[in-house]
Structure 1
Amino acid sequence: MPDSTVPPTTPVALSALLAREDLALRRIAGPDDPGTVVHWVHTSEMADPYPYLLGGELLLTAGAHIPEAAGSGTYFDDYVSRIVAAGGAALGFGVAPVHDTVPRALVAACERYGLPLLEVPPQTTFSGVARAVWQLMAQARLSELRRVTEAQQSLASAASRPDPVPSVLRQLAQRLGGWAVLYGPEGAEIAEAGREPGGEAREALARLAGVVRPDRPMPPAGVASQASSASRVHSTGTRPAEPEAAPSRSAHRPGPASPVGPQPPTGPSRPAPTSATDTTAGLHLAAYALGAGHGFVLGVAAAVRAPGDHTIVSVAAVLLSLLTGEQQSGTGAARSSALVRLLLGALPEDVAPLLGGGRRWVVVHARPDGEGAPDAVAASALGAALGSALVDPAGDVVRVLVPADRAPDPLPGWTLGVSAAVAPEDWPFADTQAARALARARAMRAPLLRHGPRPALADLVPPGEAAAHARTLLAPVTAHPALPETLRTWLSLHGSWDRTAVALSVHRNTVRQRIVRCAALLEADLDDPDVRMELWFALRHI
């Protein structure tokens, strides 16, 4: 793991900075390591910059702090050793106006301590070097986001194929340029794809995933484990070991970590870690536990750990968690059975027990904040957060059917409308309630709004008589489908043109025209509170 004190910025290869012809930087000392990266740029004329460095910086100086007799003592050794101790990535020395050349003693000290030393020519300003680093960081970040987005789309597409698990693993291995493997609850390799690593790395990855005991050889690929009952319990309850602690500030570049063995089974009072990393035989290894309690683990091995790899593997882990979760629990088959029965004429209340919920349900309508419709991965992640796999991505709105005992809470990045708790036979009514609650939530800029029915005077009127009265009163406007819903939304938002426009996704002038039309057709004064009350009562029954 990287040093926790290093700034959390996109790293820039020092070689990329040296390749900028407009800067004309020249490396004159230190190792020529293509893996050297810069996280930050800092300018300082302090004789001891250590207290002001976080690690990973390109430190720029003009040498104003250097005393006249520095070359004959230990000044440069002390100066460079402190930069190295702070985790500095490289030192840039500006030639002119203080020094005509880079001091030879500084060059020698950088060679001794292995710190890259760059000569900054007079025509290159320190601010120009910093600007170039920020530009390279922005380019790297854009490239990383594009790569992650493309990988996310390809993984989601792979998950929809007839062989989803092998397809996701193949796509993941291709994106990482390495090997991906799925371990089953008993430790066997259920499926794998990509460049298979050597035996040492393969065994280390299995140990990191927590599916093999230290005193037991790894089971052959594709062969089910013949472990004993106790061993099976161990492998099923195990999660990948904790990642190694971040090194101290004095250890700038962490070396290879030793293989991590499996941990004892985790009890309910101690949550298990979900991922672990290691480095063996020149390969970067990582393991991700899938879901909660399934016992499936995703392992990956790659020669290079590029920016964005963790995000890409996490997306694959979410997809595989959904796929293996259905395989393990059988809920996928139960949902298919429920769908078939509904299509063949069964009543919702008869198929509801197959869905694993209780007797009452809520419908949630969710819309992501910002522009664009949610993709399949985002919709699945939303369902997982709400505790339900009954998800319907319908355009820019995601509908989720949730057991009533799992009351939804606000979720960052989403606006939610939640229906009242209903029996399965009332799902269609709950769907309408959730849609209206979402519209009001968006209009009021609230993260979550629930439909909350309560006893009222309207409950004293028999439903049949109330519906007949509503049909008669609203007959002039019901011939125009947009008018009743506009009138309902406008009344619910206390006559606000702007909020109604937001809730209905139309222009405020369109709202005004529709309300004027309603008033004309109904021959009613919509500013009269008694008229509004009567119309609101009627709108609740159509």
Structure 2
Amino acid sequence: MPAVADTPTLRALLTRGDLRLVLSDEDHLEPATLDRAVRWVHSSDLVDPTPFLSEGLVLLTTGTQFQDAADEPGAYRSYVQRLAARGVVGLGFGTEVVRDGIPPALVDACRDERMPLFEVPYRTPFIAVARANAEAIAAQAYARRSWALAAQRAIALAALRPDGLGATVAELAKQLDTWVGMFDAAGELVREHPADGLDPATAEDLHHEVAGVLNRGARAGSSLRIGTTPFSLQTLGRGGHLRGVIAIAAGDLDQEGRGVVTAVIAMAGLALEQQQGLSRARGALRAGLVQTLLADDPALARRIARELWGPLPVAPIEVAVTDAAASRVDAIAELLELRVDEKRGSLFFGRGDDGLVLVVPAGERGAVEEVAERFGVRIGVSDPAGYDGFAAAAAQARVARDRGGAGVTPFGAVARSGVLSALSGEARSLARAELAPLTDHDAAEGTQLVQTLQAWLDNDCSHEASARALGVHRHTVRTRLALIERVLGSDLSSFATRAELWAALRALDA
């Protein structure tokens, strides 16, 4: 915070030549003791004035309360201890009113408590000391208000520059004389001043704190400390639709400082809301280009993308599709907009019918993996393909997404598990119905028809191999197969029948 006016302190009072105040025994004081802010100057000759005092006061007294105590050290010591415990920052003793000079016992008591003690000469009325401090307080308040108005004017002018948000952040940092950063809805630091003003460890911890604020989704202001650096965080946007966070490397701000920050929050929030409308239009255009790519006709998408975002990624490409249930699609899109600028010609994305569609050069999955890790979504990735096979690649990506686990799942990993591994719950229900006559017969008669059918199909319909697998005679296998035909009413010599039964058994296994 810039020093725009002298802070009212005891040192400032003591340096006023017109008051002729004299500090007693300065050697026992820490230099900072005289630089504490003086909120007011009060006078009292009560033995215990603390019930009527508040912290940050300078107390003036003529010593009337000590007349009966003479120079008894205990009375002075307990008096000063009460003042120190109440937060009094200095004691002024008016001489030549009740007695000449400051009582030595009072000097000793103030030295023990490290309480600043000064003499107020007879020619200086207490009201003059109080008025001098009041004038300093008023001057500081006026200077702070003047600073706040000038700062808000400078920030308003900064908002009119080409990069209004960046200029606003920079101007706020200059006015507060500290580091200021703006994070977007994805928790990415997009603007800061001064650049690289935080050490890497502090920057990383701050990033985690901002991510937590954005994940909660509620409008809020918060204060925290990272190492020795205090920070204030202020959200941008509406609750449930946060557009970002402004972080300020400062602790508690005074009223004027908070007013300046509030003005920046309002302007930044308005600017981001206006940008959101533009982002929606860009998102609709991206979604339209995705539809043209799904028609395996990239000509229009190439032409428009080149004008707005740069060329489409060079084939062969990989197509990725995010989880359709992703709750932070807008935040993901904002992050990808940043990555498009950084990876010009190496990334394209847009909304599809059931999730975001990402297009990257084959083997370059950095942006895809970042989205999966940061937002906890499932993403399927196709095999390398050309734009003439975009629709098929997108279909592969959906299969990989739906059948994969958390994170990124390549289609190749899913394809190796075979076609039947993709059988759904409906297939298993049909399989149970298909094999129900055999399972019911085994349960009622104690036969092993399902086990025999499984062994026979697994051994390429060989009676002898099946008999060895089951540990029975081959004629037993023939007899059981004949019974299976009668129970099912099917001809096992038909390939279609065998395939149907084999698929049913595999579906139950799956």
TM-score, normalised with respect to structure 1: 0.46
Which structure shows the higher helix fraction?
2
TM-score, normalised with respect to structure 2: 0.48
